[in-house]
């Protein structure tokens, strides 16, 4: 081959390479996630240390590359162990089903389950690491278990002298919306470890700061909590006003039930309302947490009741979907017209009230004890339960919404010191 042709081919390759880089850069989300910032720092906060990583499938950088792969291939990072939350590190485990320890076939690393025999890392699990890196995508609602998993991991690390580094990620619901009932200490559980409103406005990194800096937030000694070493790697480019679609980031399912940002928004709205009673929220269809159904009731009948409730910021439309078995299902899709006006949890409490009406009596009063307890753990207190128990279909939702708004305004002020973004 002539030298001239070789140079021509080489030039073409260079042009192609440059264009591909430019295209990649142009398409890149402007937001740098915690893992992107950490990589940009040359992994300095964890360089030379024995590293454990608590993550799941949504633990990826802004280009979609797994944090597991990034840390495992970094020359100055010694990744020694993986830790998995509910659904496991690859998100293929069922909800509410214990996950077993294993060896990761991709990396050969041990995977310790924090949703199996143990919910909190044991000293033996932590023995071979110096620092635990946390990269979990939360959905902004209190009952989602990843924040609880992080909290338990932080407690174990602080008790055992291990550092915690949290890689921050967006709150899909934005950083301004605070809504719903608070959590009474009596009902603190794995579906509500943080004493925050149901929709709390904080990122996973801010929740970590809240846990470290709030007396009594951690179930360890005050000394261990005070002396615990926490580093949060903030995002760059994220603003509190941003909802997930504003970020330009591709959504990676955080769990099988949350395959899309629409489902994450829906979780904050209908999740509590379908916890018990008759309503279903479309799980198993293409509209999880957004499509409402009720036995022997048409979408029009459901819509009529919700329109009477006059919930700000929402509207509804009938839809048809396919369930897991391929059977056609007719339901009512919940549309968000104006997120600024929406009190996300309000519709859930109207659904509970409507459930009593559709059943011709207070079905909640007759729930088995364990189911009633789980219901209160999700809602956060017995106050609403007592309202349902005494009034059923006449429960005063508006009274509770007004009360929660007052409480949540005070909460907003109390968490300013933990916020990382203006």
Same domain, 317 and 178: no
Q: Output the pLDDT for position 3.
A: 46
CATH number where 338 lies: 3.90.1150.140
Distance from the Cα of residue 25 to its chain's centroid: 28
Report the CATH number that the domain containing residue 199 is assigned in CATH: 3.40.50.12170
Reported as a single tens digit per residue, the pLDDT across 297-307 is: 999 999 999 99
Same domain, 274 and 235: no
Question: Are 309 and 196 in the same domain?
Answer: no
The domain of 370 spans: 261-408
Nearest to 144 by CA among 89, 94, 187, 192: 192
The 10s digit of each residue's pLDDT in 144-173 is 999 999 999 999 999 999 999 999 999 999
Domain check: are 184 and 149 in the same one? yes
226 in any annotated domain: yes
Task: Say what the pLDDT of residue 29 is.
Answer: 78
Residues 240 and 285 in one domain: no
* Residue 106 and residue 242 in one domain: yes
pLDDT of residue 367: 83
Q: What is the pLDDT of residue 25?
A: 41
Low-confidence ranges of the chain (pLDDT < 50): 1-26
Same domain for 204 and 319: no
Q: Are residues 222 and 269 in the same domain?
A: no
- Do 204 and 293 lie in a common domain? no
Say how far apart CA 142 and CA 25 lie, in whole Å: 35
For residue 27, the model assigns a pLDDT of: 59
Residues in Cβ contact with 413 at an 8 Å cutoff, skipping those fewer than 6 apart: none
Residue 397 lies in a domain: yes
Residue 18 belongs to a domain: no
Q: So what's the pLDDT on residue 94?
A: 66
Domain end: 248, 276, 304, which one?
Answer: 248
């Amino acid at each position: 081959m002539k030298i001239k042709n070789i140079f021509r081919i080489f030039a073409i390759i260079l042009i192609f390479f440059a264009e591909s880089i430019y295209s990649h850069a142009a398409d890149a989300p402007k937001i740098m996630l915690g893992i992107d910032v950490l990589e940009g720092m040359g992994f300095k906060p964890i360089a030379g240390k024995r590293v454990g990583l608590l993550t799941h499938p949504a633990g990826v950088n802004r280009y979609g590359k797994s944090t597991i792969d990034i840390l495992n291939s970094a020359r100055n990072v010694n990744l020694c162990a993986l830790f998995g939350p509910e659904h496991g590190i690859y998100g293929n485990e069922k909800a509410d089903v214990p996950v077993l320890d294993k060896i990761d076939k991709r990396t050969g690393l041990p995977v310790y389950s924090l949703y199996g025999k143990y919910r909190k890392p044991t000293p033996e699990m932590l023995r071979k690491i110096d620092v635990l890196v946390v990269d979990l995508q939360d959905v902004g609602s209190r009952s989602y278990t990843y924040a609880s998993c992080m909290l338990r991991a932080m407690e174990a690390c602080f008790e055992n002298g291990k550092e915690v580094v949290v890689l921050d990620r967006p709150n899909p619901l934005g950083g301004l919306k605070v809504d719903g009932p608070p959590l009474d200490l009596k009902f603190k559980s794995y579906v509500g470890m943080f004493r925050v409103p149901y929709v709390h406005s904080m990122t996973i990194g801010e929740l970590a700061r809240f846990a470290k800096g709030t007396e009594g937030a951690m179930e360890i000694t005050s000394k261990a909590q005070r002396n615990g070493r926490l580093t949060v790697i903030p995002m760059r480019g994220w603003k509190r006003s941003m909802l997930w679609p504003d970020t330009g980031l591709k959504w990676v399912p955080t769990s099988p039930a949350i395959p899309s940002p629409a489902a994450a928004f829906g979780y904050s709205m209908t999740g509590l309302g379908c916890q018990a009673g008759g309503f279903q929220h479309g799980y198993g269809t293409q509209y999880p947490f957004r499509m409402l159904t009720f036995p022997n009731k048409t979408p029009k009948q459901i819509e009529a009741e919700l329109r009477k409730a006059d919930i700000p910021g929402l509207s509804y439309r009938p839809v048809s979907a396919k369930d897991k078995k391929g059977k056609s299902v007719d339901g009512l899709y919940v549309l968000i017209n104006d997120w600024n006006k929406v009190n996300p949890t309000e519709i859930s409490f109207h659904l509970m009230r409507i459930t009593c009406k559709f059943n011709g009596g207070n079905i909640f009063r007759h729930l088995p004890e364990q189911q009633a307890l789980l219901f209160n753990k999700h809602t956060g207190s017995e106050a609403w339960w007592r309202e349902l128990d005494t009034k059923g279909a006449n429960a005063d939702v508006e009274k509770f919404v007004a009360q929660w708004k007052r409480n949540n305004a005070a909460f907003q002020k109390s968490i300013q010191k933990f916020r990382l973004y203006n």
